[in-house]
């Protein structure tokens, strides 16, 4: 390993220097020497790494070096992602309330059979575990509406913010800002707005309308769960699409303009096809994120009214942790089902990315 050279250290002549030269060479030399002196411990620290890395390289050769660098991350990923995946699967084949796998009773596929025990899969009331199926249907409804609206709104916003409008940077920041907020903060802010005595109801009353109890109506609760989710995530997807829009060569638009092509045709024939790889990534990412929805809706509606906004992750959390009898086996089985769905979506994402690379 070669230590990174410290900029300005050991030299008076910096060809990249912009702006006025220092008053005297003596001053410059003194400050640069001081900087170099301060950098010595840093340089020494990094040189320490050279000893083991040289040894490893001598043993494994240069080809082994990428794996050496990957190893810490692989170990981290293995311990905190891959291993829990297998542990979770093992839990799903067990029953009882004991937390350690070694103390648990092997039940085979009983937990899965319990989850899938339904007379009619389209009617949760006929299912033994009705809440699991309600959560599945709620999640499907949420994902379908949320992802559709999210992608369309992100696209429209990206198209507008890609044009030369006034205060474009400001608006880009405004739309991106909610992405930076914690989901819990987002949900709490909207909850305060939507409560019986919240700002929105105060406004409705002030213009002579009746108060609406948003969290008591299943339709309103689902609407606001979707709305808040779109509001908080739209900026991220907008940014991906904006990057895609800016990567489209401008000469294509110039050619279209010279040909007198209508703006609609430009959008459908140039913008959308060239943006398609980004669109696919956005759709698949939004789908995965949508299926995993939990935190913000849990804080906003608590899953209510009834089970109207209870989604699959909340079902897993409630079954595994919030019940008096903490049913880790059933929760794990539901997690495995969710994992299978997410795996399918991830495969779709990989396929989409590959297609993007091919374009």
Partner 1 sequence: MTLRLKTVLTGTALAMSVLATSAMAQTELRMTWYNDGNEGEVMRGLLDGFEAANPDITVVLDIVPYAAILEGLPVQLAAGQGPDLARVTDLGGLNEYYLDLTPYVSNPDYWEANFGPFLEWLRPTGNDSAISGFMTQLTVTGPYVNRTLFEQAGVDMPGDGATWGDWAAAANEVAAALDIPIPMAWDRSGHRVAGPAISMGAMMFDADGNPALVDQGLMDMATMLYDWHQDGTMSTELWGSVSGSTYLGANEDFANAQVVMYMSGSWQIPQFASTIGDAFDWWAVPAPCGPVACTGMPGGAALVALAGTEHPEEVGMLMEYLASEESLAEFYGQTLFIPGHLGLAAGGVDFATDDPRARHALETFAGAVPGISPIAFDLQGYPNNRVMFNALISRLGEAIVGELTLEQAFERMTQDVEQQLAEQARDQ
Site residues (CB under 8 A) for partner 1? 95-100, 103, 105, 107, 125, 128, 130, 196, 213, 215-216, 218, 301-310, 314, 318, 321-327, 329-330
**At its nearest, how many Å lie between partner 1 and the CB of residue 207?**
20
Which is closer to partner 1, CB of 22 or CB of 302?
302
d(CA 8, CA 35): 8
Which is closer to partner 1, CB of 107 or CB of 349?
107
Which is closer to partner 1, CB of 122 or CB of 325?
325
**At its nearest, how many Å lie between partner 1 and the CB of residue 322?**
5
**At its nearest, how many Å lie between partner 1 and the CB of residue 320?**
9
Cβ neighbours of 50 (radius 10 Å): 13
Residue of 134, 116, 138 lying closest to 125 (CA atoms): 134
Angle at 343 between CA 133 and CA 141, to 5 degrees: 35
Residue of 184, 180, 151 lying closest to 272 (CA atoms): 151
Which is closer to partner 1, CB of 210 or CB of 357?
210
Angle at 256 between CA 255 and CA 260, to 5 degrees: 120
Which is closer to partner 1, CB of 140 or CB of 149?
140
d(CA 275, CA 261): 19
What is the token pair recorded at 351?
């396929």
Which is closer to partner 1, CB of 95 or CB of 178?
95
Which is closer to partner 1, CB of 29 or CB of 109?
109
**At its nearest, how many Å lie between partner 1 and the CB of residue 125?**
7
Instruction: Look at residue 106 and give its three-state secondary structure.
Output: strand
What is the token pair recorded at 104?
């648990």
Residue of 252, 195, 299, 121 lying closest to 203 (CA atoms): 195
Question: Buried b / exposed e across 145-173, counting CB within 10 Å, b at 16+?
Answer: bbbebbbebbbebbbebbeeeeeeeeebe
271 with 191: CB under 8 angstroms? Answer: no
d(CA 198, CA 118): 41
**At its nearest, how many Å lie between partner 1 and the CB of residue 268?**
44
Which is closer to partner 1, CB of 271 or CB of 310?
310
Judged on CB neighbours under 10 Å (0-12, 13-18, 19+), 200 is middle
User: Measuring CA to CA, how many Å separate 252 from each of 165, 257, 267, 270, 272?
Assistant: 21, 9, 12, 8, 13
Which is closer to partner 1, CB of 283 or CB of 330?
330
Which is closer to partner 1, CB of 105 or CB of 243?
105
**At its nearest, how many Å lie between partner 1 and the CB of residue 309?**
8
**At its nearest, how many Å lie between partner 1 and the CB of residue 176?**
32
Angle at 162 between CA 157 and CA 168, to 5 degrees: 85
**At its nearest, how many Å lie between partner 1 and the CB of residue 122?**
16
Q: What is the separation of C-alpha 78 from the centre of its chain, rounded to a whole number of angstroms?
A: 21
**At its nearest, how many Å lie between partner 1 and the CB of residue 154?**
30
**At its nearest, how many Å lie between partner 1 and the CB of residue 308?**
7
């Amino acid at each position: 390993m070669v230590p990174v050279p410290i900029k300005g250290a050991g030299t008076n002549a910096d060809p990249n220097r912009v702006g006025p030269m220092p008053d005297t060479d003596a001053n410059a030399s003194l400050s640069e020497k001081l900087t170099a002196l301060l950098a010595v411990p840093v340089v020494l620290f990094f040189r320490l790494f050279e000893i083991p890395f040289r040894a490893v390289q001598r043993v494994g050769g240069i080809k082994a070096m990428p794996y050496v660098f990957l190893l810490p991350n692989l170990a981290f990923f293995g311990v905190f992602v891959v291993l829990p995946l297998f542990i979770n699967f093992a839990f799903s084949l067990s029953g009882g309330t004991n937390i350690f796998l070694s103390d648990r009773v092997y039940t085979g596929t009983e937990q899965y059979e319990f989850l899938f025990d339904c007379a009619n899969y389209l009617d949760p009331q006929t299912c033994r575990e009705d809440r699991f199926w309600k959560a599945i249907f709620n999640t499907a409804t949420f994902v379908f509406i949320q992802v559709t609206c999210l992608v369309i709104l992100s696209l429209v916003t990206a198209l507008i913010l890609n044009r030369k409008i006034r205060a474009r940077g400001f608006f880009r920041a405004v739309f991106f800002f909610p992405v930076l907020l914690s989901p819990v903060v987002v949900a709490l802010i909207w909850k305060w707005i939507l409560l019986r005595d919240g700002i929105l109801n105060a406004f409705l009353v002030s213009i002579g309308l009746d108060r609406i109890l948003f969290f008591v109506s299943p339709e309103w609760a689902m609407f606001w769960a979707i709305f808040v989710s779109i509001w908080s995530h739209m900026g991220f997807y907008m940014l991906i699409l904006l990057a895609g829009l800016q990567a489209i060569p401008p000469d294509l638009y110039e050619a279209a303009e010279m040909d007198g092509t209508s703006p609609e045709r430009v959008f459908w024939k140039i913008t959308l096809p060239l943006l398609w790889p980004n669109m696919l990534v956005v759709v698949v990412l939004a789908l995965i994120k949508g299926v995993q929805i939990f935190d913000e809706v849990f804080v906003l509606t608590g899953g209510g009214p009834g089970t109207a906004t209870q989604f699959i992750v909340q079902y897993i959390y409630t079954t595994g942790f919030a019940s008096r009898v903490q049913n880790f086996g059933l929760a794990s089985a539901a997690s495995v089902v969710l994992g299978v769905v997410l795996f399918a979506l991830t495969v779709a994402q990989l396929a989409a990315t590959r297609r993007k690379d091919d374009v």
